[in-house]
Amino acid sequence: MRRLFIGLLIIIPTLAFGQDIRRDSGGDWTLFNAGGGCIGGSSCKERRLRVPLEDRPVVAVRFHAHDQIGEKAEGVIRVKIDGNTVRGSIDIPRRGETFTIEVDELRGRYLVFEPVNNDEVEISEIAVLYGKTIVGRIDRRDDRRDDRGPRGGAGWRPYPAAKGCIGGDDCDRNGDRITVALDDAPVLGIRFYAHDAIGQRADGRLRVRIDDTMINSYIDVQRAGKRHEFDVDNVYGSRLVIETSNDDEVEIKDVEVLYGPRGSRRGGQRYGGREVTHEGGCIGGSECGGKRARIRIPIYGRAVNSIRFYARDDIGTRAGGELRIRIDDEILEYALDIPREGRTFNVDGKGVEGDYLFIEPAEDDEVDVKDVRVRFEEEED
């Protein structure tokens, strides 16, 4: 009986999360009203926090966290989906911050928050953005066309929930980005309204990307506001991200995406440009997400000519960083030795075609990768 009682104490809190779920006003983010609590240190009862997930791919996680508990201000947490680490080390400021973490369409039973060191952290306002799992026509209730909207289930789709003030001191409670789960269709255009009439400064800047494909890296937002519109060259992706590129507030609303007709990602479709870029990141080791961390770049079946990037291994105490470069399951470089002082690498793509290019640790040591450029073979008309 005593074991049964202890088991119920463990199960009941998890059930409470599942019973207090709601959608935001646009039906995109799933909000966990009762999700949250204090974890870690000597003042918090729980060592970790688990939130049950739906059986759908997760493309982003959002939460607020602060470290205003106890005397220390050394709160650091990791975020996982089941046993997969999504972010290995997040430093939590004492005054608090809203974090948005991108996820590579992982599925799992639980979203897990754990303390990395022995200090208390308070977590609240947990939300999950799921990817689209149903392939079919766009919901006509949300489909507003104009003369640019092609036939076959395409057209401008509004995202009314994708709005708000982000960035700077006045809006840091909301984080620094707006994230939208995209349909499984090529994106032809993006438009939204933005203004910078918040706070004393008028220096708001934005960048727009689809997953890791940069659409526009420098958008100067006017104080009076204006509508911004960008053409996109048939880019597929799981999420649209509109984020601040400096420490100033920006208000965003009326986000819309122009989709093209759905079809194969291969076979006759062009995806624009001889090259795609990726900003890179730190992967591997205890400080950068472990050996499972990786950089994944969609290449949509195109033949790769070359891959260029900068990498260094001056993070952590070890200097054993090695990278594996592959396209899907075909390995281009099995163990590329990364020097501590760093240098630029050029890898022969050998004309290999696939869905994704992966840059991942070959050894469990931290490597910082930057400025990835993937160049494709010439396409015949």
Nearest to 163 by CA among 25, 23, 22: 25
- Please give the structure tokens belonging to residue 198: 């918040």
- Dump pLDDT digits (tens) for 50-64: 999 998 889 999 999
- Dump pLDDT digits (tens) for 121-153: 999 999 999 987 543 333 333 333 343 344 344
Per the DSSP assignment, residues forming a β-bridge with 156 are: 144, 258
pTM: 0.60
SS3 readout for 70-93: CCCCCCEEEEEECCEEEEEEEECC
pLDDT band at 117 (very low <50, low <70, confident <90, very high): confident
| Sign of the alpha-carbon dihedral angle for 147, 148, 153, 158 | negative
pLDDT band at 353 (very low <50, low <70, confident <90, very high): very high
Residue 347 makes CB contacts below 8 A (sequence gap 6+) with: 306, 307, 308, 325, 332, 333, 336
How many CB atoms are closer than 10 A to CB 95? Answer: 10
For the chain, which domains are there? Answer: 2-130 (2.60.120.260), 147-259 (2.60.120.430), 275-376 (2.60.120.260)
* Among the ranges given (81-85, 230-234, 285-289, 295-299), the one the predictor scored with the smallest mean pLDDT: 285-289
